[in-house]
Structure 1
Amino acid sequence: MNTCLTCGIQVRRGESSPIPKGEVMAERRETSAHAAPGGRELEQDEYRMWEDRTRVFLQPVAAPSILGLFALAGATMMVGAWQADWYGNPTTPLVLFPFVLMFGGLAQFLAGMWSYRAQDGLATALHGTWGAFWLAWGLMWLMISAGVFPIELVPAFGETNAAFGFWFVPLAVITGFCAFAALGRNMMLTLVLAALAAAAGFTAAGFFAGSTWPLRIGGWLFVVSAAIAVYTAAAMMMENTVGRTVMPLFRTRRGKYVPEGPGPSRPLEYRYGQPGVKIGQ
């Protein structure tokens, strides 16, 4: 049996259609009282009401972050290694930008939009933000190669460029919040985002100060984050393909770092009238 990622409805392996509606509804009626959050009779009645009026569209979705993290890693690894002065010269981005624009930018941005469909707010923010950044980075170097970008405004290591430095400020802030949110998911994704946020911060500082050493540190951190992102994406892909954990992600208990308020907790999907819908990837 397979379970739809976005709606939680079970599908027999090898079939393209869900279990007959009668079987699903009968099973739901039998288990609704036990599945309702909380143990009070009122909540059980409300839960039955949500189930009776809910209609879910079956559309299985693979984990979008598999593509998103691979795309993030590919672009970040190449540009980060160049920024760390492992290879290349000032004209190297003219060779890199087509790959960065399409893979790190477009592919990752699409992964962010598919994450929205999977109701994964963290992945939507991460891949949407960094996908848009790499699209902008690639477009800038495309304009430079076409000769329509003022040469005196081209970012250069060791030179002050506050305007380009500001590109990395929102990246550092947003990615930092994403890293904090990822604590409720798994430690590998948290490490990816923490290193990525620090890399963006050092890169911003380097362009603000016109100093080279923060840029070199930022480049190293970009490479570190890319390496961890490759591992994380590969672990998710193996788990999706094999059906069990092959490469551990060191998952944390969801909601462990969120203080509980008074009264019983109620799942988000129940609150919004979507019983059985799985939130996220």
Structure 2
Amino acid sequence: MALPMPYYGSTMPFDADTEYKVVQREQVANPAPLGLFAFGLTTALLQGANTAITDPETTEFWVFAYAFAYGGLAQLLAGMWEYKRQNTFGATAFSSFGAFWIGFAIHGTLVANGLYVASAGAAQITLSLWGIFTFILMVATLELNFALFSLFITLSTLFFLLVAGLTTPNPWTKIAGWWGLMVAAIAWYIAAADVINEQYKRTVLPVGRWSVGTPLAKGLKAALSKVPLLGKACVAGMDREDALSGYTKKAEDLERPGTPHDYRATRLHNNHSLYQGAWDGEAVRYEQEARGLGSAVGPY
């Protein structure tokens, strides 16, 4: 369907179907399964040693090698590709945990070769900070799906269990090990869901898509509005930032009932995406939303 659309003061034909195909070609494949499989496998290898399923003395270099190459480098690459997909959450999570595993591999190799003396206090602080960081990411999963929420809440807990294990190895180290195996299993399930659902073009493995974050945020805002002075000032600041960032307008567009296919395509064309590489992927997002599909890690 060709539509005459204004472009820099002129009129030119615009075909919605062509625009969609161009956007699709610009997108990279979903890197989330790679990042999740890499994270899950490396976590399972490490926690297998903590549970005494494997002998720590004979498997530590095996763990370090995979922590660097698969859990580290492969996951870091997945994070970089998430930047390409304009997925801030996925890019932040995969890049950060990829760097975590690379750092872990380097640190472990230095300690194992007697080149560095490990500090329990430094390890506790580091793991605690990673636990807090993971909890922050968990808040974002409230707007994604239950499976991803489960992964990040259990992972955040794992970091604090490991901190306890450094203080009291028995029984916390073994508890952390078994808990970590559960974390790895959840990561692999989400990765499998992304791969299998995409191939079958239907939900074979559900991830429990939800959107509880928005109601919670609205509830928090409503509660703040009842607090005199400071609370109302916070709400006013939130409204102002929403307006400046365009979040308010975007929410109105997405919540508009019966938004036609051509409306999204026209809005995409008006953003000149066809002539700037179509990096925003709005058309792809729309098609994925319409079919109820998309990456478990987001955004589509």
Structure 2 length as normaliser, TM-score? 0.66
Give 1:119 shift: 1.6
Partner of 2:187: 229
Report the Cα distance in structure 1 between the residues aligned to 2:127 and 2:160, rounded to whole angstroms: 7
Partner of 1:218, secondary structure, is: helix
Aligned residue identity for 2:144? R
Match of 2:29 among 62, 76, 80: 62
Q: Distance in 2 between matches of 1:149 and 1:205?
A: 26
Q: Which amino acid aligns with 2:139?
A: F
Residues 134, 156 of structure 2: 8 Å contact kept: yes
For residues 66-108 of structure 1, the C-alpha deviation after alignment (integer angstroms, 9 at most, x for no partner) is: 1111111010011012112222133521222111210001001
Give, in whole Å, the separation in 1 of the partners of 2:32 and 2:18: 35
- Give the structure 1 partner of residue 171 of structure 2: 213
Q: State the alpha-carbon separation in 1 of the partners of residues 115 and 124 from structure 2.
A: 17
Residue 97 of structure 1: aligned partner? 64
Is it true that 1:110 corresponds to 2:77 in the alignment? yes
CA contact (8 A) 2:40 2:185 kept: yes
> Per-residue deviation at 1:247?
0.6
| Map of 1:85 onto structure 2 | 52
Q: CA 1:245–1:57 in structure 2 vs 1: closer, same or farther (change >3 Å)?
A: closer
> 1:149: how far off?
1.7
Question: Structure 2: where are the runs of 5+ without partners?
Answer: 1-12, 222-238, 254-266, 274-279, 286-297
Offset, 1:113 = 1.3
Moved more, 185-194 or 133-142: 133-142
Aligned to 2:198: 240
Q: How many residues align?
A: 226
Q: In structure 2, the residue corresponding to 1:250 is in which secondary structure?
A: coil
Q: Which has the higher helix share?
A: 2
Cα distance, 1:239 vs structure 2 = 1.5
1:24 is aligned to 16
TM-score using structure 1 length: 0.70
Distance between the aligned counterparts of 2:23 and 2:198, measured in 1? Answer: 23
Structure 2 residue aligned with 1:280: 299
**Shift of residue 244 of structure 1?**
1.1
2:249 to 266, 270, 276: 266
Q: Report the alpha carbon displacement of residue 202 of structure 1 after superposing the two structures with TM.
A: 1.1
- TM-aligned CA distance change 1:25 to 1:199, over 3 Å: closer
* Equivalent residues in 2 for 1:162-177, closer than 5 Å: 162-177=121-136
Shift of 1:199: 0.4
Of 251, 254, 270, the match for 2:209: 251
Instruction: Work out whether 1:126 is the aligned partner of 2:126.
Output: no
Q: 1:135 aligns with which of 102, 112, 115?
A: 102
The percentage of aligned residue pairs carrying the same residue is 25
Structure 1 alignment gaps of length 5 or more: 1-20, 29-54, 156-160
Q: What's the RMSD between the two structures over aligned residues?
A: 3.3
Task: Give the secondary structure class of the aligned counterpart of 1:266.
Answer: helix
**Does structure 1 conserve the Cα–Cα contact (< 8 Å) formed by 2:27 and 2:85?**
no
